[in-house]
Chain A
Amino acid sequence: MRLTVAASWVEGPLRQLVADARLELGVLLHPSGQVLGQFGFARSVDVMTACALAAATHASSAELGRMLEGQPFTGVHYVGATRQFWRATVPTTSTPLILFAVFDEESSLGLVQLFFRQFCEAVAALAPAADAEPAALAENFESELNRNLAVMFGRA
């Protein structure tokens, strides 16, 4: 499987997760939509779409959680006819990240959740400290996204 990253520390944990949980495709992104890593995608435009939709559903479900339970919902699982997706918050010492992962019958929710926990531990250990990386600002979101996509698809 082709896996590319915009930040090198992401590669190890993401590759392990994809292999262990038998994931088909997915992205790891900043809540602003800034992509940190992708696997299984062939076109940058699909990554861009997935990031935008994942960031949007994350924001809406977090808000729904706040309204209903006073705290954001951290994960969503959807079962389709042949594929399922799992979108969850990855805690870090600074801004939490978002994982959006698609899997088929080769995997299961139990496996994805199991190896997702390991992934979170690895990310927590490797993610740079809050002040080491400037947060993506709303005004440069689009250029950041495009820059990261260019890095990952070899056009930087």
Chain B
Amino acid sequence: MATDEVRAISDQLAADPSSIAFLPLGEALRRRGQLDVAWKVAQRGAERHPQRPDAHDLLARIAIDRGEPSRAQSEWEAVLRLAPGHAAAQKGLGFLRFQQGDFAGAAELLGAALLADPDDQSLAAALGTLRAAVDESAVAAAPPGASDAHAVTDARALFDEILGDQPQTALLIDRDGYVVAGQYRTADGRDLGADLAAQLSGVSDEAERAVEYLKLGAWKQIVFESEAASLAMAPSGEGVLLVATPRSVPLGFVRRLLERSVARAQRWLETGT
């Protein structure tokens, strides 16, 4: 939505606060990433129209973007109380259950949503992913159960959204050099994240010793170029976050990628989402 249209809807809402213009306005702001403003608009609208399921659905989607899954869950549950069988709410709750490792609950909700909206390709794809995850946890058959198997799958994909389809890597490494999240896939599909973490995690120990003795304060970032890759690392939690990109990627962009990955890891460590 163009800025002029946003302004027009905003003006309309200002002229008539009881209108339902808050719905397209909140959605437009959400898509632009103006989450705090979007939340205020949607919340005010939901207060005026508490019986509208789409008002609560909008609040839930903004809450997801804000990294607040429990608030999103309660809003979608409110939608289903008002409109049982609401496909978007079932879909949203299904994804939340999936993230919580409740595969059976997720399958039930996503299946119901697909029945309500058979043309929704994202639902069909989600059900496919869900079945794959269930299969993977069954193959692993590890004692901790399906929930742990899900956590591993989720952790490996933690940085996928930031990295996109480019051949670049982000790994969250603990203080012992073990991979906590992320992966390093080779062209033939092998995950060499553990090898990479083991080789590069020692650099941060050297950095800590150097800054301590040289009285430079805490180290914030290391960037170095090699023949094949540009590498960047920063402290994250009790470990280190490592980003590797092809050498052709500009160093400034590598640093931005690192900063975004650190923020993503921090959110994941703090909220689990």
Contacts and interface: CB of A to CB of B under 8 A. Distances in A.
Report A-B touching, CB under 8 Å.
Answer: yes
Interface of A: 20, 114
3 contacts: A20-B209, A20-B213, A114-B213
A48 B110 CA distance: 73
Interface of B: 209, 213
Contacts of A20: 209, 213
A58 B209 CA distance: 31
A20 B212 CA distance: 11
A84 B4 CA distance: 72
Contacts of B209: 20
Interface secondary structure of B, over-half rule:
helix
Contacts of B213: 20, 114
Contacts, number: 3
Contacts of A114: 213
Nearest to A22: B209
B215 to A, nearest CB: 13
A114 B213 CA distance: 10
B13 to A, nearest CB: 63
Nearest to A111: B209
Nearest to A115: B213
Nearest to B209: A20
A20 B206 CA distance: 10
B140 to A, nearest CB: 37
A114 B212 CA distance: 13
Nearest to B212: A20
Nearest to B205: A22
Closest 3 CB pairs of A and B: A20-B209, A114-B213, A20-B213
A114 B209 CA distance: 12
A65 to B, nearest CB: 30
A20 B210 CA distance: 10
Nearest to A106: B202
A20 B209 CA distance: 7
B213 to A, nearest CB: 8
A114 B210 CA distance: 12
A11 B243 CA distance: 40
A20 B214 CA distance: 13
A128 B13 CA distance: 82
A20 B205 CA distance: 11
A18 to B, nearest CB: 13
B113 to A, nearest CB: 57
B238 to A, nearest CB: 19
A80 to B, nearest CB: 23
Nearest to A21: B209
Nearest to A19: B209
A147 to B, nearest CB: 36
Nearest to B202: A106
B229 to A, nearest CB: 23
